[in-house]
Amino acid sequence: MELTFYTNPMSRGRMVRWALEEIGQPYKTEIIAYGPEMKSPAYTAINPMGKVPALKHGDVVVTECAAIIAYLADAFPAAKLAPPPGDPARGAYYRWLFFTAGPYEAAATAQAMGVTVPPERVGMSGYGAGLAGVLDVLEAALKPGPYLLGDTFSAADILLGAHLGYGLRFRSIEARHVFISYVARLYARPAAIRADELDGPMPGEQG
């Protein structure tokens, strides 16, 4: 079945590109421009949200970065990007995938937008009082190293590594030593290097 990847180089699609390079299967790339093209009927038939990335695998359509990355890990088990079903490590794998897609991204977005959770509403927040507490949890998880699942690299590392990489690059998170070394280790992977070369520099970087 053909893989078609809908993306824009200046989007979260970059992390899905990395996952595609890790699985090592051929895929077709469709670059979707921001503005009318991304909101067009042709594209919203694929992703009704009118945003990228999206993935088609035969007749299957998957949207949302975490879902796409998890789907690729399961659809191509030979790449060994996820513990197999029944493996106890699957629990931690799911935990960190969804922690990144949930509490981390929500907290990082809130901070970037200057949103502060009032003390009396902390219990309603999926990420507690703020980004610092979320980063504390991630720092503790990464300290044993080298990956979220110990010695085993997984799709959860792609998702978290990409998010932390963005945060460090654009100085939207604290440059903690654990995060710096973790991201450097991940970005040295051949698939990450290939993905970065295919998408080109991010804004503010030298080409």
Residue 95 and residue 75 in one domain: no
- CATH number of the domain to which 102 belongs: 1.20.1050.10
* Rg (the chain; Cα; Å): 17
Residue 106 and residue 180 in one domain: yes
* Residue 95 lies inside a defined structural domain of this protein: yes
What pTM was computed for the model? 0.94
* Residue 207 lies inside a defined structural domain of this protein: no
C-alpha to C-alpha distances, 54 to 26, 57, 95, 187, 189, nearest whole angstrom: 16, 10, 23, 23, 24
**Does 207 have pLDDT greater than 70?**
no
* Residue 206 lies inside a defined structural domain of this protein: no
Residue 73 and residue 124 in one domain: no
**Does 65 have pLDDT greater than 90?**
yes
Write down the mean pLDDT value for the chain.
94
Residue 180 and residue 99 in one domain: yes
Indicate the residue among 19, 50, 80 that finishes a domain.
Answer: 80
Name the pLDDT band for 12 (thresholds 50, 70, 90): very high
Total domains in the chain come to 2
**Does 203 have pLDDT greater than 80?**
no
Residue 73 and residue 39 in one domain: yes
Residue 171 and residue 190 in one domain: yes
* Residue 200 lies inside a defined structural domain of this protein: no
Residue 136 and residue 49 in one domain: no
Indicate the residue among 44, 59, 80 that finishes a domain.
Answer: 80
33-47 mean pLDDT? 98
Instruction: Give phi and psi for 191, each to the nearest 5.
Output: -65, -40
pLDDT digits (tens, 9 = 90+) for 131-156: 999 999 999 999 999 999 999 999 99
* Residue 184 lies inside a defined structural domain of this protein: yes
**pLDDT (0 to 100) of residue 41:** 98
Residue 40 and residue 73 in one domain: yes
Distance of alpha carbon 57 from alpha carbon 76, whole angstroms: 11
Non-local CB neighbours of 101 within 8 Å, separated by 6+ positions? 64, 65, 66, 159
- CATH number of the domain to which 8 belongs: 3.40.30.10
Residue 115 and residue 134 in one domain: yes
Residue 28 and residue 94 in one domain: no
Distance of alpha carbon 40 from alpha carbon 186, whole angstroms: 36
Indicate the residue among 63, 80, 97 that finishes a domain.
Answer: 80
* Residue 107 lies inside a defined structural domain of this protein: yes
Structural domain including 10 reads 3-80
* Residue 205 lies inside a defined structural domain of this protein: no
pLDDT digits (tens, 9 = 90+) for 89-115: 999 999 999 999 999 999 999 998 888
Residue 126 and residue 188 in one domain: yes
**Does 68 have pLDDT greater than 80?**
yes
* Residue 125 lies inside a defined structural domain of this protein: yes
